[in-house]
Structure 1
Amino acid sequence: MEIYLQEKKEEMLQLIEQLVNIDSGSYVKKGIDKIGSILKEKYEELGFIVEVKEEKQYGNNLVIQHKEAKDPKIIMVAHMDTVFPEGTVAKRPFRIEGDYAYGPGVVDMKSSQVELLYALKALILSGTKGYENVQIILNGDEEIGSPSSRPLIEEKSQGKEYALIMEPARKDGSLVSARRGGGRITLIVKGKSAHSGIEPEKGRSAIEELAHKIIELHKLNDHEKGISVNVGLIEGGSSVNTVSPNAIAHVDIRISEMDQADYLNEKIKEICSKAYVDGTKVIIEGHITRPPMEKNDGTENLLHVIEDVGKEIGIQVHDTATGGGGDASFTSAAGVATIDGLGPVGGNAHSDKEYMEIHTLPERTLLLARTIERLSR
């Protein structure tokens, strides 16, 4: 397998270039679906059955497994969408400089798509049956919280023993064994307008009320326990000489343990139930949508398997926790032993400096193929 993957490195890079040079931001449905059709054809050539789950608003989701598969025990998830708007590719298409490949979504996660495909190719050519033990979900909305694909991932996680999630490895090559969960809430504060010079006493400032609430919300932060509450955007008011009749806060919440969700929900309700400025009221919208991926015994055991495989092929495997959310949270919450970050090494995702380290492409593909093989014995 190792020789085969080294020989196929240029071919893999050509496919990565093709995928990167298609705009596929989460709201660019036509681009996501184009990537889906390219990958569908590639998998069907290998004897896989591809079921297209049509979506009206977001990119279609694909469910893939080999025609000989009977009861696959490994679920693999890789997203086709990026964070970049339509037109990004025209400004900075795929390019290679030295040992680095650049372009929108090159590491998060179009290189992972190619790695997954070629890992299965390598397994088929080697004569092992690991490729029959996987069920793959390629989704089109991960970067916006997987609104359409989450139920699909949760459904297909049932009965699985292992989940291998294809987000890129961290900059230092680490796999991801824990992720924070979280969500977004919006506070909409209603007050009463009044002229701030003529009759300010008749007004009820929504901005003043929101200011009190922001201070209380930020007191909920407990970074040692992995709780983060951040009011990242605020808006409100109608003019500088008017007591504000409205104000809005957009709040990002992160948690490390599932029971923290109930705690924060109660605390936020408590804060919002009290009016600091008489005559104002608040509406809460949104909630915690993504459970955390907790490092449990199943994760530890799966990690040890991957570490052993790494030793066999000369890769030292490390793991880390990350604050970002991902689809690994859904498989983990479903009780499936989950490891994330199995894609190639790279960094600066979601920016115009996003890169992938080319030399890690064949070696991480080999690590993935050998891991599937080991888990399928």
Structure 2
Amino acid sequence: METPSDRLHAACLWLESEQAAITDQLIQWAEIASGSHDTRGLQRMADRLRSDWQQHGLTLQPTPVTEIQEIDAYGELVSWKTVDALVASRRPDASRRVLLAIHFDTVYEADSVFKQCRWLDSHRLGGPGVVDAKGGLLVMMWALAAIERFQLAEEIGWTAVLNPDEEIGSPASAGLFQQLAVAHDFGLLFEPCLPDGAMVSDRKGSGNFTVIVRGRSAHAGRDPESGRNAIVLLAKLIGEIDRLNDFQLGTTVNVGRIEGGGPLNRVPDLAIGRLNVRVDDRAAQSQFESQLRRIVERANSNEGFSVALHGGFHAPPKIVDASTWAIQRAVEASIATTDPAIRWQPTGGACDGSKLAFYGLPNVDTLGPRGGNLHSPEEWVDTATLVPKATSIVRLLTAYARGGESIG
């Protein structure tokens, strides 16, 4: 008679036998461009995901998300619609439920020259999004396929969310995550682990802000004194904002983009500065927001200028608490057979796990494969970690279904 342990062993062997297919699939997925603003590419990726999940008997349901609001190059607030999120679920009425999530957008937009994969050595594959996060998408899909194929976790329910906007802060899918957080016991997210294999514990909070300076246009030769140079005032503001960096406190500010100006014989009446800030905790978050508002308020006292601030924190700081610690211990147990010495490390990066923690759902968010050089043309993934990562999720959820792990 076949036992649950027999089925678990068979599932692990099945995943190992699919290593080549999983790697080939990763190359195909990575070479589908799906930048956060590339809605055509995102839809192609969504269609491919739905087809590949269906091959395992898993149905991804398109699920509408809200419109995204951004400041355009003219300083105006505009709204645009991204593609639907994709949601799959099994046994939604189960008393114990797990939320799994990862994004299918990347930082490589349609005009990126980084479009193809290439082997760097026998295991390391370079390519756009191979580790952030199309490798994580594969780990999640194959783990769930094994669980359902071998009937390993029928005592629990699960929901999988694939969202199209994480790389820009998940402005469209945040509401979906908030809705689902209250209906699950804990979360598993498939962002990549760190290049040395360490997994993330605490995360800094992250916010994106836009400062819009409007001045007064004038002829730079005939009557420059009647103009109000928006670029000059923004430059002064940027100096003040940069001084909000406090490395001892853990607050880092990066002014990442400047827009404005035109003909050199015209005083520019519009300048836009875009910045990202990272903070260690909620107190530092509140302090930075107050300081930034004061800088903008003072700038508005300049005659002939109007200064506006847009944006906010899209990922609150994530601090490991007792519930998260319990999930970490369960993850360690699931990986112990292949990697007995897991190391947990805080990071300045943010992800959707930060939102879910803020919404009350404890989670571990670096269950994807090992890789490095994220967000660059040197991005790579260690393909030898794909199957072990999927196997660890199979072991984790099987143990939880049997009541062997206290999680969440």
| Common topology (TM > 0.5) | yes
Correspondence for 1:121: 145
Q: Tell me the distance in 2 between the aligned counterparts of 1:254 and 1:4.
A: 42
Question: How far apart are the structure 1 equivalents of 2:255 and 2:130?
Answer: 31
1:305 maps onto 2:330 in alignment: yes
Give, in angstroms, the shift of residue 254 of structure 1. Answer: 1.9
Please list every run of 5 or more consecutive structure 1 residues that lacks an aligned counterpart in the other structure.
Answer: none
Q: CA deviation at 1:74?
A: 1.2
User: Residue 204 of structure 1 contacts residue 277 of structure 1 at CA under 8 Å; is this kept in 2?
Assistant: no
Alignment partner of 1:247 is 2:271: yes
Map of 1:288 onto structure 2: 313
Identify which of 249, 256, 259 aligns with 1:225.
249
SS in 1 for 2:320: coil
Cross-structure match for 2:47:
37
Tell me the SS of whatever aligns to 1:12: helix
| Distance across 2 between alignment mates of 1:90 and 1:196 | 41
Partner of 1:145: 169
Q: Does 1:373 align with 2:398?
A: yes
1:291-323 deviations in Å (ceiling 9; x for gaps) = 222222222221122123222444421122222
Task: Please tell me whether residue 81 in structure 1 is matched to residue 105 in structure 2.
Answer: yes
**Matched-pair contact (CA < 8 Å) for 2:115–2:128:** no
Q: Which letter does structure 2 place at the counterpart of 1:60?
A: D
Alignment match, 1:179? 203
Q: Once the 2 structures are TM-superposed, how far is the Cα of residue 288 of structure 1 from its aligned partner? A: 2.3
* Residues 199 and 13 of structure 1, relative CA distance in 2, 3 Å threshold: closer
CA offsets, 1:319-369, max 9 Å, x none?
Answer: 222222211111111111111110111111222221111211111111222
User: 1:24-60: CA deviations, max 9, x gaps?
Assistant: 2223334333333333344445454432214683232
Is 1:24 the counterpart of 2:41? The answer is: no
**Is 2:381 the counterpart of 1:362?**
no
Following the alignment from structure 1 to structure 2, what is the Cα–Cα distance between the partners of residues 270 and 73?
45
Separation (CA, whole Å) in 2 of partners of 1:274 and 1:151: 34
Deviation per CA, 1:115-155: give whole Å up to 9, x if none. Answer: 11221233335442168432110111212221221111111
Gap change, CA 1:141 and 1:296, over 3 Å in 2: same
Of residues 357, 363, 375, the one that matches 1:332 is 357
CA contact (8 A) 2:170 2:314 kept: no
In the alignment, which residue of structure 2 is the partner of 1:257? 281
Instruction: Name whichever of 346-355 and 165-174 sits farther off.
Output: 346-355
Give the structure 1 partner of residue 129 of structure 2: 105
Structure 2: give runs of 5+ residues left out of the alignment. 1-8, 66-79, 404-408
Equivalent position SS for 2:60: strand
Aligned-pair identity (%): 29
1:63 paired with 2:71, answer no
Q: What code does the residue aligned with 2:344 have?
A: D
Higher helix share: 1
Q: How far apart are 1:107 and its partner, in Å? A: 1.1
Aligned 8 A contact 1:23 1:87 in 2: no
- Which of 151, 158, 178 is the aligned partner of 2:182? 158
Contact 2:92-2:158 at 8 Å conserved across structures:
no
> Where does 1:201-216 land on structure 2 (aligned, <5 Å)?
201-216=225-240
Instruction: Give the secondary structure class of the aligned counterpart of 1:106.
Output: coil
Tell me if structure 1 keeps the 8 A contact 2:205–2:278: yes
Aligned counterpart in structure 1 of residue 377 of structure 2, from 352, 358, 373: 352
Q: Partner of 1:170: helix, strand, or coil?
A: coil
Quickly say closer, same or farther: Cα 1:76–1:91, change in 2 above 3 A: closer
Normalised to the residue count of structure 1, the TM-score between the two structures is 0.89
1:202 positional shift = 4.2
Is contact 2:118–2:127 with CA below 8 Å preserved after alignment?
yes
Please say if residues 72 and 135 of structure 1, whose CA atoms lie closer than 8 Å, have aligned partners that are also in contact: no
In structure 1, what is the equivalent of residue 69 of structure 2?
A: none
User: Does the CA contact (< 8 Å) of 2:91 and 2:157 recur in 1?
Assistant: no
* In 1, Cα distance between equivalents of 2:378 and 2:114: 15
Q: Is the 8 A contact 1:306 1:317 kept in 2?
A: no
Q: Is the 8 A contact 1:195 1:243 kept in 2?
A: yes
Distance in 1 (CA, whole Å) between partners of 2:339 and 2:226 is: 73
- Is 1:177–1:338's contact at 8 Å kept on the other side of the alignment? no
| 2:73 alignment partner in structure 1 | none
CA-CA distance at 1:264 after TM superposition: 2.1
How far, CA to CA, are the matches of 1:131 and 1:106 in structure 2? 33
* CA-based RMSD: 2.8
Residues 206 and 157 (structure 1), Cα distance of their counterparts in 2 relative to 1, 3 Å cut: same
